[in-house]
Amino acid sequence: MQKIAIENGRIIDPANQSDSIGSLYIAEGHIIAVNETPGDFTPDIVIDAQNQIVCPGFIDMSTRLRQPGQSHKATLKSETRAAASAGVTTLVLQADTKPAVDTPAILELIKDLADKADYPNIVTIGALTQKLEGQELSPMLALKQAGCIAVGNAGKPVSNLLILRRAMEYAASHDLLLIYRPHEHSLGNKGCAHEGAVATRYGLPGIPYTAETIALAQCLELAKQTGCRVHFGQISCKRSLIKIQQAKKYGLDVSADVAIHQLHLTENDMEPFDSAYHVLPPLRSDQDKQALRDALSQSVITVLCSDHQPHDLDAKLGAFPETEPGMASIETLLSLMLKLVNDKTISLSQGIAALTCNPAGILRLPSGSLSVGMIADICVFDAHMNWTIDSTTWKSKGLNTPFWGSTLSGRVTHTLQSGKIIYSLN
């Protein structure tokens, strides 16, 4: 394997609370030294990281790569390339592939596809219930042994609370983390936009905030009762944050993430009937956005994810309520995080932690830091380089981003995974 030196960069490693200019040395896929040049080290490759930031590779806690089942939307190959160009070295795959990840066989299939894609590390969430139908428990232990890092509902309902309780008890028995996107479907009532002034004006069926908070409250009560570790995915409402904060205060082992676009867009940013803004949970109010930002800065929310959902053109071509929800968002993850740093919502170190050591800690992954001896999953980026989102820069097969055509700041120049350069800008 090649020996790599990343020189003169600003090394930010939140796990070790370090932020300094220096160099990083990589051999045999691992970090062998930070700052101090190891004896008789002759690098095969030198990356000049002057005026750039060197940090652990990003761990994206919620992605859909559309394989197996929907390769007309995107493939593991296309989306892992997009991820590599975005500095992401670990992709956490939601269980709602087609078919859902409810048997080790599906997991094997994903592993095979991932091996062929040979890019970032893909880790998979297993389905909490069979076919994600909320009726019968999935074989969680078998899924865990086959490599699933957690179990989850992928936003699908578990409407029978007895089944949710049993599933959480069973997950807790095997020390499995539950990744739960709270959504009470009866209250969601086939809505497609935040139940607020904008949906009212455009006559769009609304999703009230209670669809999230009620499902969240139920799950929190069950977490207390069952002892199941829970990570809440893609939180969107102010009142959810109050509940999570309280639960943490009372010692419950819970954590939460937010999809990065929820920190930048609200119902008021929606161009009339533009399906690029159709996401679930929906873009909420200005108040919700501010509360989410506050929660991030106060570490009520500790993880940022892209909630990447690439779509084919047809899926987004139609009247708003009839289009499929979701944004292709992995490539805007870094720039949108840096925007939060620029407007002083969070510090750069906090932002990097939310993409690296925080998700690694929750998922118990052996990555997310730059300690000597760690696997060399590394992202090098230029925080000030501008780029325009267009067909020359975009790599995902899904073009469904509301940021298409806009210029953002912050560009990944190199991505290393297990000591191998899997992406370089030039």
Partner 1 sequence: MTENLQLNSDGKLKHFLTIEGLDKALLTEILDTAESFAGMSEQQVKKVPLLRGKTIVNLFFENSTRTRTTFELAAIRLSADVINMNIATSATSKGESLLDTIRNLEAMFVDMFVVRHATSGAAHFIAQHTAPHVSVINAGDGQHSHPTQAMLDMFTIRQIKKEFAPLRVAIIGDILHSRVARSQILALNTLGAAEIRVIAPKTLLPAHVETLGVNVFHDLTEGLKDIDVVIMLRLQKERMTSALLPSESEYFKCFGLTPAKLKIAKPDAIVMHPGPINRGVEIDTRVADGPQSVILQQVSNGIAVRMAVMSMAMQARGNG
Which residues lie near partner 1 (CB under 8 A)?
A: 195-197, 199-206, 208, 271-273, 314, 317-322
Q: How far apart are CA 418 and CA 317, in angstroms?
A: 40
Q: How far apart are CA 315 and CA 323, in angstroms?
A: 6
Shortest Å distance, C-beta 375 to partner 1: 47
CB neighbour class for 272 (10 Å; exposed up to 12, middle 13-18, buried from 19):
exposed
Residue closer to partner 1 (CB basis): 123 or 204: 204
Shortest Å distance, C-beta 188 to partner 1: 14
Helix (H, G, I), strand (E, B) or coil at 264: coil
Q: What is the DSSP letter of 378?
A: E
* Ramachandran area for residue 326 (φ above 0: left; ψ -120 to 50: alpha; else beta): left
Structure tokens at 190: 């086939």
Residue closer to partner 1 (CB basis): 175 or 322: 322
Residue closer to partner 1 (CB basis): 38 or 272: 272
Q: How far apart are CA 104 and CA 82, in angstroms?
A: 27
Shortest Å distance, C-beta 318 to partner 1: 6
Shortest Å distance, C-beta 259 to partner 1: 22
Q: What is the DSSP letter of 390?
A: S
**Is the distance from CB of 347 to CB of 298 less than 8 angstroms?**
no
Q: How many CB atoms lie within 10 A of CB 403?
A: 20
Residue closer to partner 1 (CB basis): 192 or 412: 192
Cα distances (Å, whole numbers) of residue 225 to 169, 221, 244: 9, 6, 16
Give the residue numbers annotated as catalytic, written as ranges. Answer: 307
Residue closer to partner 1 (CB basis): 140 or 315: 315
**Is the distance from CB of 97 to CB of 110 less than 8 angstroms?**
yes
Q: How far apart are CA 366 and CA 369, in angstroms?
A: 9
Shortest Å distance, C-beta 270 to partner 1: 11
- According to DSSP, the residues that pair with 215 across neighbouring strands are none
- Closest by CA position to 75, among listed 123, 105, 119, 117: 117
Q: Which residue has the tokens 């297993």?
A: 126
Residue closer to partner 1 (CB basis): 105 or 317: 317
Shortest Å distance, C-beta 311 to partner 1: 15
Residue closer to partner 1 (CB basis): 203 or 251: 203
Shortest Å distance, C-beta 217 to partner 1: 21
Q: Which positions ≥6 away from 408 have C-beta within 8 Å?
A: 332, 335, 336, 339, 386, 387, 388, 389
Q: How many CB atoms lie within 10 A of CB 194?
A: 25
Q: How far apart are CA 47 and CA 67, in angstroms?
A: 34
- Closest by CA position to 369, among listed 5, 18, 7, 10: 18
